[in-house]
């Protein structure tokens, strides 16, 4: 079986990815890396005979080179990243080190050890924002226009990957996913934060009127799309990933309150700490769907699964 190295498996998306890939018996052996910034991350790690986990920092050249020499992965999925926009506004340097330097270190190792392919996991935030509901969705050829240090660092990572392809022949794919939600997501994100507030009877803080529109994708659908790219992705292509389910933040909050049967009285409008959040994200997914992928979870189904998981795993909120 192919050996795949995944970075960032202590995080939300790739802790779910490992579980899905192993459970569905995809024909890969996995090795993975996470620097475990907080000990609570260890609750995410999924140990299995088909998965070997290493503690380490992707920006540590010696560690990464040693790991590549020892394990000799066939394919690399680079998902490790600092991903909080608010945190990036407070300390952009952390994001440059992890998301740009870390990507360069991974790319260098991929070139040195001649991996078959690198899949770089990016974000739809590299496109910037759409200013109205009538603007067309972004395609993979839309210009990059990042508006904060986080999205700028992810866009820079994309350029590092593409430059290595031109300079050294590195084969790659890039994924740009919309907002993910689901089990094991950290409580600074909208959906788990709202569920936690309802459970603990604390204010649900809404920036402004909560009219910011996002394109919501259940995390296992994103994982399924990456697996499709692993199997059928065309060389050196970029793929948008989304379930194409746009909804404003306030609508998402209200739907969660409806599902939990309470919480509407906790909704509290506050001043946007960033001054102005991006208004709308929306991506065209024709390209990924041409590979045979399609989302399995509607937004109502995904929200039900999400609410049920957090209600049944209250320990998560003690992270």
Average pLDDT over residues 161-175: 98
What per-residue confidence (pLDDT) applies to 319? 60
CB 30 within 8 A of CB 18: yes
Q: Which of 34, 82, 124, 158 is catalytic?
A: 124
| Torsion-angle region of 205 (φ positive above 0: left; ψ -120 to 50: alpha; else: beta) | beta
Average pLDDT over residues 164-182: 98
Does 182 score more than 70 pLDDT? yes
Give the max Cα distance, the chain. 58
Among 190, 215, 242, 221, which residue's Cα sits nearest to residue 297? Answer: 221
Share of the chain above pLDDT 90, in %: 88
Place of tokens 């995809």: 26
* Strand 246-248 versus strand 213-218 pairing type: antiparallel
What rounded mean pLDDT belongs to the chain?
Answer: 95
Q: Which of 57, 125, 221, 278 is catalytic?
A: 125
Does 197 score more than 80 pLDDT? yes
CB 227 within 8 A of CB 21: yes
Give the model's confidence band at 42: pLDDT under 50 very low, under 70 low, under 90 confident, else very high. Answer: confident
Average pLDDT over residues 32-43: 83
Among 242, 257, 247, which residue's Cα sits nearest to residue 180? Answer: 242
What per-residue confidence (pLDDT) applies to 47? 79
Phi, psi of 180 (to 5 degrees): -95, 155
Does 121 score more than 90 pLDDT? yes
Q: Which of 150, 172, 218, 239 is catalytic?
A: 150
What per-residue confidence (pLDDT) applies to 205? 93
Q: Active-site residue 125, yes or no?
A: yes
Q: Active-site residue 91, yes or no?
A: no
Cα–Cα distance, 80 to 34 (Å, whole number): 7
């Amino acid at each position: 079986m192919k050996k795949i190295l995944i970075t960032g498996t202590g995080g939300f998306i790739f802790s779910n990815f490992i579980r899905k890939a192993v459970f569905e018996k995809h024909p890969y052996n996995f090795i993975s890396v996470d620097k475990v910034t907080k000990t609570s991350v260890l609750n995410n790690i999924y140990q299995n005979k088909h998965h070997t986990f290493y503690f380490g920092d992707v920006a540590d050249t010696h560690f990464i080179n040693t790991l590549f020499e020892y394990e000799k992965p066939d394919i690399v999925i680079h998902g490790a990243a600092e991903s909080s926009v608010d945190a990036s506004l407070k300390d952009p340097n952390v994001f440059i080190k992890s998301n740009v330097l870390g990507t360069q270190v991974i790319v260098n190792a991929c070139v040195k050890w001649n991996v078959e392919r690198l899949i770089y996991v990016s974000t739809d935030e590299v496109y910037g924002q759409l200013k109205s509901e009538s603007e067309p969705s972004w395609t993979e050829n839309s210009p990059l226009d990042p508006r904060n240090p986080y999205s700028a660092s992810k866009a820079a990572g994309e350029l590092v990957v593409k430059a290595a392809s031109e300079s050294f022949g590195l084969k790659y794919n890039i994924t740009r996913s919309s907002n993910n939600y689901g089990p094991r997501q950290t409580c600074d994100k909208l959906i788990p934060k709202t569920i936690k507030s309802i459970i603990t009877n604390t204010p649900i803080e809404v920036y402004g009127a909560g009219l910011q529109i996002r394109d919501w994708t259940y995390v296992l659908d994103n994982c399924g799309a990456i697996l499709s790219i692993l199997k059928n992705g065309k060389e050196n292509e970029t793929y948008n990933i989304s379930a194409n389910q746009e909804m404003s933040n306030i609508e998402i909050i209200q739907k969660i309150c409806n599902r939990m049967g309470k919480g509407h009285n906790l909704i509290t409008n506050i001043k946007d700490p960033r001054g102005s959040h991006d208004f709308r994200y929306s991506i065209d997914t024709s390209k990924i769907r041409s590979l045979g992928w399609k989302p399995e979870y509607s937004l109502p189904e995904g929200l039900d699964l999400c609410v049920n998981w957090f209600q049944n795993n209250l320990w998560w909120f003690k992270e």
